[in-house]
Structure 1
Amino acid sequence: MATDRTDLAALWRSQVGRNGPRPFLTYHDFGTGERVELSFATMDNWTSKTANLIQDELLADPGSRFLLAAPPHWMTAVWAIAPLLCSAVVSPWGDAARARYAVAGPETDQLEYARACRGERYALSLLPLGRPFAEVPEGFADYVAEVRMHGDRFAAFDPPNADAPALTTSSGEALTHREVLDEAAGRAKDGARLLVPVERTSADAEGLIDWLYAPLAAGGSVVLARGGTEAELARLAEVEKARLAS
């Protein structure tokens, strides 16, 4: 496996350095026709801006939990990486009341789930081309609007290490960076491009390991596809030169 077995932040930096212009995450929506392709370098710009927001604006301490209540999407992937660069913890669909900060998708159930968090809350528009909300949900800041003012280079005040907590599971257990990489090991082939239908996965801890952290650790790339018939997915896999996930 093409991974530096240290922590996810070091792994991310290493993969960006090796693969900068190569595609990392492509999002395809059959319903809207949207296609967004993020190279490792472009994804790094988004994660760096977001990590600067976390570190400089939120002043998040190491170990701070970020609730993530959103569907599989490229913006969700940004928030599954950026807190880890700051030694914070990603808590996908975790206990909102225990989270210090919350990030939610635009749907009513996602926003309501996040409202139990008493800290700062951000909403993801998930609109094509990364557009901000026309009307920001009450009690939330618009992530897209807020993140743009932050720099696209990031240096952590407190970089994580392999034994720092990284990701909470459905039981509330916090997996370390090392344990997440151990879970990811072998789930993706080195350098492979994987097509993942959104409807067949999730953005809970298990789903994120499958469609995000495992391909990252293997130096591969991901196509997230929303909607589409079996025939359309097969054609997309051929066009994207990807293997359709079972």
Structure 2
Amino acid sequence: MQIAPRSGGPVPDIAALLARLAADGGRPRLTWYGDDGERVELSGAVLANWASKTVNLLVEEFDTGPGTHVVVDLPVHWRTAVWALAAWRAGATVAVPDADAVPPEVVVTDSPDRWAGSPADLVVVSLPALARRYDGELPAGAIDAASAVMTYGDAIGWVPEVEPQRDALVTAAGAVGHASLVPDPGPGARVLVDGRGAVADVLRDLLGIWAGGGSAVLTSPATAAELDLDDARLTRLLSTEQAQR
């Protein structure tokens, strides 16, 4: 299925990308297939709304902005995309665990035990779609993302100016700056994205798809592995979602 971009040409930054998504109405832009049959579909407007609320949390709670290092310690997931988009919109540097030599100021994780003793501000994310609070004991001072994000405004409030020369994404392979974070636009297709890729690679793939006006069908790593072993299920999914590999 071809999805025509709303406007042509490259997308210069995350702010422009989120503006396009927000103006996109009810078209699906991210469909998530998780474990145990979970399916979540987000339109462009809903995806941008989640990102906007999360931007407000990061800025208001942690003064996130250029120079802030945010470790996103989450697996491939639709919520991971939201947190990365929000951190980039605030001008922060997003790093995957153990890839950045700079100690993080903020850590976003679904496994707070891994960050016991860290001086970073901690945001604990519940991955299940229907989670309304973290199902466990929160470390002292940690923010429960499931309940906190929904209390913030739907429109982005004050946010610092992004500094294009700063690093936007840091991995063990190197860094990508804000000026070149959004890849060249894809062809505007609805694309099945294999969740077994590295988190940073999957995030860049999603950015390229959205920049071209396309739509992503994202699978969890376990679901991707199951689809590899079940041709009939894969064929049904591609047909149902009108997606291509």
Say whether the 8 Å CA contact 1:201–1:207 is kept in structure 2: yes
SS in 2 for 1:129: coil
Further displaced range: 68-77 or 58-67: 58-67
* Aligned: 1:88 with 2:88: no
* Aligned: 1:179 with 2:180: yes
Using the TM superposition, give the Cα deviation of residue 197 of structure 1 relative to its aligned residue in structure 2, in angstroms. Answer: 3.0
SS in 1 for 2:234: helix
Number of the residue aligned with 1:16: 22
Identify if the C-alpha distance between structure 1 residues 125 and 136 changes in structure 2 by more than 3 Å, giving closer, same or farther.
farther
Q: Gaps (5+ residues) in structure 1?
A: none
Q: List aligned pairs for 1:40-189, cutoff 5 A.
A: 40-93=44-97, 94-95=99-100, 98-106=103-111, 111-115=112-116, 117-139=118-140, 140-171=142-173, 173-181=174-182, 184-185=183-184, 188-189=186-187
Number of the residue aligned with 2:197: 201
Q: Gaps (5+ residues) in structure 2?
A: none
1:195-245 CA distances to partner (integer Å, 9 max, x unpaired)? Answer: 1232x3121x223212x211122121111123133322231111101112x
Percent of aligned pairs with the same amino acid: 33
SS in 2 for 1:233: helix
* Aligned: 1:38 with 2:35: no
Say whether the 8 Å CA contact 1:4–1:11 is kept in structure 2: no
Identify if the C-alpha distance between structure 1 residues 3 and 146 changes in structure 2 by more than 3 Å, giving closer, same or farther.
farther
Using the TM superposition, give the Cα deviation of residue 117 of structure 1 relative to its aligned residue in structure 2, in angstroms. Answer: 4.2
TM-score (norm 1): 0.83
**Structure 1 stretches of at least 4 aligned residues deviating more than 6 Å after TM superposition:** none
Number of the residue aligned with 2:209: 215
Using the TM superposition, give the Cα deviation of residue 97 of structure 1 relative to its aligned residue in structure 2, in angstroms. Answer: 6.0
Using the TM superposition, give the Cα deviation of residue 50 of structure 1 relative to its aligned residue in structure 2, in angstroms. Answer: 0.5
Identify if the C-alpha distance between structure 1 residues 85 and 239 changes in structure 2 by more than 3 Å, giving closer, same or farther.
same
Distance across 1 between alignment mates of 2:209 and 2:116: 32
Q: List aligned pairs for 1:223-238, cutoff 5 A.
A: 223-226=217-220, 227=223, 228-230=226-228, 231=231, 232-238=233-239
RMSD: 2.3
Identify if the C-alpha distance between structure 1 residues 220 and 115 changes in structure 2 by more than 3 Å, giving closer, same or farther.
farther
Distance across 2 between alignment mates of 1:3 and 1:225: 28
Say whether the 8 Å CA contact 1:26–1:38 is kept in structure 2: yes
Q: Which amino acid aligns with 1:201?
A: G
